[in-house]
């Protein structure tokens, strides 16, 4: 495959991803972040996994549901500690459970 073909395919993929993100609901965006964190943990990519979990932390709303947000904050902080300690399997398992629960609660596949 030529370099220009691969570049065109990469641009198409990037345009698709941009459109997918721009048209996603807030609930779906959280699923995408969980997916990114799970993939990063599977690849043992500390930087990307940490960035994704930080995005989940940043999405918390402490104004409306402070108790729930605080519990999630504590859990996400624990997951970050697991990532920073190279316990990627534990972090991935927790993120996978959270993603499944979130998807079921929001009826997102």
pLDDT digits (tens, 9 = 90+) for 40-79: 999 999 999 999 999 999 999 999 888 999 999 999 999 9
Write down the pTM of the prediction: 0.80
pLDDT digits (tens, 9 = 90+) for 1-14: 456 655 655 555 67
At residue 16, the pLDDT reads 62
17 located within any domain: no
Contact 84, 50 (CB under 8 A): yes
Domain around 79: 25-106
85 located within any domain: yes
8 located within any domain: no
**CATH number reported for the structural domain that contains residue 60 in this entry:** 1.20.120.340
64 located within any domain: yes
Which residues, 6+ apart, have CB-to-CB distance to 66 below 8 Å?
A: none
């Amino acid at each position: 495959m030529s370099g220009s073909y691969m570049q065109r395919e990469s641009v198409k993929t990037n345009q698709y991803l941009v459109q997918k993100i721009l048209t996603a609901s807030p609930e779906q965006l959280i699923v995408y972040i969980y997916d990114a964190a799970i993939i990063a943990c599977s690849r043992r990519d500390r930087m990307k996994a940490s960035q994704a979990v930080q995005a989940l932390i940043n999405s918390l709303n402490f104004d409306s549901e402070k108790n729930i947000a605080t519990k999630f904050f504590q859990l996400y902080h624990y997951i970050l500690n697991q990532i920073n300690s190279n316990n990627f399997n534990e972090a991935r398992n927790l993120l996978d459970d959270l993603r499944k629960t979130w998807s079921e609660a929001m009826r997102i596949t």
